[in-house]
Structure 1
């Protein structure tokens, strides 16, 4: 039997920004070595201060650039990563994109080769330069499924406490940039004073500065309008507990301070802030070498003696269920917290229909509103659901539609602002509630390359030998490499063999598998294909035992509202609603220019696939099958020993989304929204006003649409022509080089040489394995939330804690398993302090609706790391690592899966 487990897909929380390494004029033939500088203690200064987690960005940069570089370790990691990137579905189209793609081309594999050459010639002075260069290459793919957080870059984030919004005074004139708090306060004060817009940043025109900042820092944007929107503060993002890139989500050092110039001639100078995402468990660390050992190689300090993880097997058997205990506490009445029924954010009105436990601390995202003028609004900021909320999600969508119809609502607005995706089957389920007679196409395909062929052949053939009561049968049923449970899109029949599935089929100089579809009529596939397995789940309309419900709203009476920040599963939903059902789209925001904008501005790929989790697990399973069949197992390098670098998360896009009878992936096609609108002072802080404004623009007042933004949308799937260049956002210039790397790549690529370094000089060697050097499988289990038997409200007996429905911890019995369940997380005195416990992570989070998440004064809570970052838990007890100086010793991984949320304001 395969040793396997279910892995949840990562919520795509994205980080980015950039820094440049100065190019060198020295000869490429000579590797220059420099004297080791005095060892900086900036890292130790940061780690020792356990009371706060915010520092001057310059101090953080000093720490980052003090971390030594080991070329041998970097080279092995790059080999591991390049082997993985072969599974990225878009390589050929990124290198040679069609005219409908608005970003520069990039050769990812060629770029990795260039980085390896720079390693060989000693171009990187420290670990930060190497990681920054690799990260910028990754960001040039403009695909938020293709992402990496590893080493020291995941330890810090950067931001400013001056969050910004882009607002048009009347919705017609071009928008200006404002400090968000000024707009909010002015509206609350009844417009008794007029906020002054920002006109310069560091002496540069504000639009030019932010356009460049967005191009270098935003990840996944397929056009500059979406890059721009990712900088702006949005209530739809705040309610999900995530920061904007500008407000706390930049990965790379932005500078020491920022000078903000206003139209009224005043200026404000504010320091850029660095947010430390570690916790007190990181200590004791002192030098950059210590930082390397801890965050690059994943070593616990030898002196660390962690609290033992509990081994309560009986408790874990109830791991994914809602709390059912009827135990109460003497303080239950005073500390009970009712299930939230509204978002804790002034931009959202009280909903008429909502999921239970709606809110940042709950498991629900859906809310419905019935406005005047007979307009119903369904807000879906995420398709990510877990456990019992999956079935509830579907029922709430159905109840919203039926109630809206019975109450006489004539029009429906579906708000998808800041929807970064989630579970594909929930998007299909939502679509089927609105259009029960349409069987959505949902075609997708993989890159057909040798390793994929080996994996698919082994797993599909093995699966066919299994009886249905075998554990591996259930485990593999919805696996990406089992062809026989999926439909051939050409025949609408199950694939008969892996060979039929694999093809390959040539397109744009590469090879791809046969287009596949989900077999939605198969209840076992539906249940197992969910990211959070839900027994008995079947997509609405495919259960033959239930009478089909009628369609209650015509396509022309529905509109989809996005801000371009719509990714993955969100893009699937828009594709079904717009191109298959004919629903119109409205997009809000974008750069201060006229012209159209795409409703889906982030990735249109349909499968985010974890490299160090799902891919490595599938490779291991393939190797086991091939060994059992006496076949060569090492079709790829040994992943277990090759991965010696600490990874927080690493993902790629496994499957392209393609339309029927088409070859070009939707990722590279241009689809303008039917109408584009600007935010106004009345709509940016009041979504009821925004929903009405969007509805008016489509149905009553087309003049509200931005000038030159209409007439370019087409629901004909074969018409993908670009609008005239005069109305499109300008494309960034592409640098000329032998490898097409795009314009945002670090200057290191255009340097023939670079300064060398003795990576190990001055670096502290790693501690040898000792009895108190242990495996970190994840945060220690928190107290379960209790249930008030009278009100059914969840509560915590300790008044210094609060119940978080999204709490999760790592199983101590099943390696790799993440266990979600309501848990009592600590309240913290103010945002900015370090929580410093294994139970809840290291970051004191702001409550939703806080005006400023970086000011260090607001009371907050200590969120579990698994609530925000990767869903990965440790899958192995130990791995080999190599320290600076190449001393190879066995070790225990420092914090496999103990990821910390690295950007505190986005979605």
Structure 2
């Protein structure tokens, strides 16, 4: 067990070296509102503790590993162990909480919300007995706010707990503790915590009542044959006796999607839409459009995420086609104002965010700069891949595989609008804030390489779609609505659309006055899984001479090559942020991940909004346009 864990950590050192914000995290810029973390030092510290037998048990080690990645507050960074992901935790009896202002003007208070999220059964909801239950049908009932949790002030308790989050903004973290009525409905991290919450949660109400509520654990995997800690470790953590590298067919391919708090089932979507205006066309779990009854000149485009599990071209084409038809319907109906609702948006495919932006504002500039951490692994891999692409001796199969990597320079324009002449010209490195990065670049959306990577899909305005229809809405008549939980591709959409002049409005946040951000999720522009890195390493090893392979073996690439099969069995998920998004007009090149982008407007959630999403949109329309 000890040796396996040390091997695991040394392998993670190699993968995490690719993470783009590692250097900035050690001493973050002043615009970053969270503590920093030295990931490299923490990994060395964990290895040292393993070597000295400082951990009391396996759980303590895994908890520290989980804490380390969480403290980076980056939804594109993680290494979730299979054994860590076996259990799911729920505050089942108390259920989700809600943060609402009773009149829309006063600071919000915390209430128990014992209805509406499909996961919680009627019997479980009834345990609240109406205490703080916002949805009580008793006309004389006055809900009582929650003032303490486990003996502490409820707001302070939730603020502290919210720090255990992949988000990078404190108000978004706070919002993420609560039930969120959106297309991608979430019960919140209070109800579904990432880590073991203990057996009991004690809730104190303002009316003086105090109650204890049982917490629950659910098994995601079968416990057949597991009788104790030894058998648990053997099943979920221990390597099988055969050498994985010699037996690749026996490697269990684990999913790489990080655990989510979202409740995505037909019932939640049905409940959400039953409280909304009638959709104007057939919606999906990812996107839907509405016309407001109370504000006849206003349309709403609600976007939960920019991805699903369908075949890539099918999904991207359907998503883009929905936007096209929605905008055409808005024009036909004479709509003048548009609310883009990205509340709880979990991100996804960057090119779909670009496509949405280009359809709404066809003249928008998509010079969306990014850069990559200039490490030896990148240089070795990129130079080898480019040599394969430029050699006339490369087989068609290898050329195809090399073309579909991030090292194909045909994917990019340089900051000067020109192509990179060779790998050295791209790699640099350039030094920003004392750290090495590649030259800044942005995607060439007309490139056959980028279109090929997306199964033939072209962004509106590029490729085989060079002339999108004129804009339906003026910039001043578009607003972006968020609760701060706007992640990855959503963050790219938000930063680009605000640069074009669109205003933002954010709902909720910590109960205090002042501005908050519309974007509280990761602002890195590309996540890369460990399996992606494994594919790159496999490609360069299989196409290299023995001398080159020996050179690789003395680097961290060699460690990845030797340990990738081992990690496939140990890890549930592994991901790093590959590319920093940077602002074109900022010579400091500080990544967007560490910047503060204040929202134009702020709105408190009310009870009406909690149970009727059109009330949120009506509130936005009135707040922004009067």
- Decide: shared fold, TM above 0.5: yes
Within the candidate set 189, 207, 223, 1:245 is matched to: 189
Contact 1:348 1:686 in 2 (8 A): yes
Within the candidate set 154, 157, 173, 2:88 is matched to: 157
| 1:93-108 mapped onto 2 (5 Å cutoff) | 93-108=24-39
Structure 1 residues 372-415: Cα deviation after superposition (integer angstroms, max 9, x where no partner): 32110000010114322221111110111121122111110000
Q: Secondary structure at the match of 2:53?
A: coil
Which residue in 2 is equivalent to 1:539?
459
Shift of 1:181: 2.2
Shift of 1:267: 2.2
- RMSD after superposition: 2.6
Shift of 1:593: 1.3
Counting matched residue pairs gives 576
Indicate whether 1:365 and 2:299 are aligned. Answer: no
- Relative to the length of structure 1, the TM-score reads 0.61
Which residue in 2 is equivalent to 1:381?
304
Shift of 1:469: 9.3
Q: Secondary structure at the match of 2:609?
A: coil
Within the candidate set 440, 447, 460, 2:366 is matched to: 440
Distance 1:190 1:555 in 2: 45
Distance 1:112 1:492 in 2: 40
Q: Secondary structure at the match of 1:245?
A: coil
Which residue in 1 is equivalent to 2:510?
591
Moved more, 662-671 or 626-635: 626-635
Contact 2:369 2:442 in 1 (8 A): yes
Unaligned runs of 5+ in 1: 1-69, 302-308, 310-338, 701-907
Contact 1:182 1:195 in 2 (8 A): no
Contact 1:477 1:525 in 2 (8 A): no
Which residue in 1 is equivalent to 2:438?
513
Shift of 1:544: 5.8
Distance 2:317 2:395 in 1: 25
Distance 1:271 1:433 in 2: 49
Which residue in 1 is equivalent to 2:254?
none
Indicate whether 1:170 and 2:103 are aligned. Answer: yes
Distance 1:623 1:135 in 2: 31
Distance 1:430 1:545 in 2: 13
Distance 1:396 1:183 in 2: 28
| 1:886-897 mapped onto 2 (5 Å cutoff) | none
Distance 1:485 1:110 in 2: 34
Indicate whether 1:287 and 2:225 are aligned. Answer: no
Structure 1 residues 415-434: Cα deviation after superposition (integer angstroms, max 9, x where no partner): 00111100000000000001
Which residue in 2 is equivalent to 1:454?
380
Distance 1:608 1:421 in 2: 11
Shift of 1:269: 0.9
Shift of 1:622: 1.8
Within the candidate set 270, 280, 283, 1:353 is matched to: 280
| 1:187-266 mapped onto 2 (5 Å cutoff) | 189=137, 192-215=140-163, 217-219=164-166, 221-236=167-182, 239=185, 243-248=187-192, 250-266=193-209
Q: Secondary structure at the match of 2:610?
A: coil
Unaligned runs of 5+ in 2: 118-132, 243-249, 251-265
Structure 1 residues 249-275: Cα deviation after superposition (integer angstroms, max 9, x where no partner): x23222221111111222221112112
Contact 2:90 2:191 in 1 (8 A): yes
Indicate whether 1:652 and 2:566 are aligned. Answer: no
Contact 2:114 2:135 in 1 (8 A): no
Residues 461 and 340 (structure 1 numbering): CA distance in 2 closer, same or farther, change over 3 Å? farther
Distance 1:429 1:238 in 2: 21
Structure 1 residues 232-253: Cα deviation after superposition (integer angstroms, max 9, x where no partner): 11132754xx6522222x2322
Shift of 1:346: 5.3
Shift of 1:298: 5.4
Distance 2:16 2:134 in 1: 49
Q: Secondary structure at the match of 1:438?
A: coil
Which residue in 1 is equivalent to 2:488?
568
Distance 1:640 1:527 in 2: 27
Distance 1:471 1:102 in 2: 47
Distance 1:180 1:684 in 2: 10
Contact 1:626 1:633 in 2 (8 A): no
Distance 2:46 2:449 in 1: 45
Shift of 1:473: 3.3
Residues 629 and 642 (structure 1 numbering): CA distance in 2 closer, same or farther, change over 3 Å? closer
Residues 641 and 575 (structure 1 numbering): CA distance in 2 closer, same or farther, change over 3 Å? same
Which residue in 2 is equivalent to 1:111?
42
Which residue in 1 is equivalent to 2:471?
551
Which residue in 2 is equivalent to 1:409?
335
Structure 1 residues 757-788: Cα deviation after superposition (integer angstroms, max 9, x where no partner): xxxxxxxxxxxxxxxxxxxxxxxxxxxxxxxx
Shift of 1:642: 2.1
Shift of 1:697: 1.2
Q: Secondary structure at the match of 1:651?
A: strand
Residues 502 and 191 (structure 1 numbering): CA distance in 2 closer, same or farther, change over 3 Å? farther
Shift of 1:355: 4.6
Structure having the larger proportion of residues in helix: 2
Shift of 1:344: 4.1
Which residue in 1 is equivalent to 2:259?
none
Contact 1:434 1:553 in 2 (8 A): yes
Contact 1:383 1:427 in 2 (8 A): yes
Distance 1:456 1:685 in 2: 52
Contact 2:371 2:581 in 1 (8 A): yes
Residues 354 and 618 (structure 1 numbering): CA distance in 2 closer, same or farther, change over 3 Å? farther
Query: Which structure would you say has the larger RCO, counting Cα contacts within 8 Å and 6 or more residues apart?
Result: 1
Larger-gyration structure (1/2)? 1
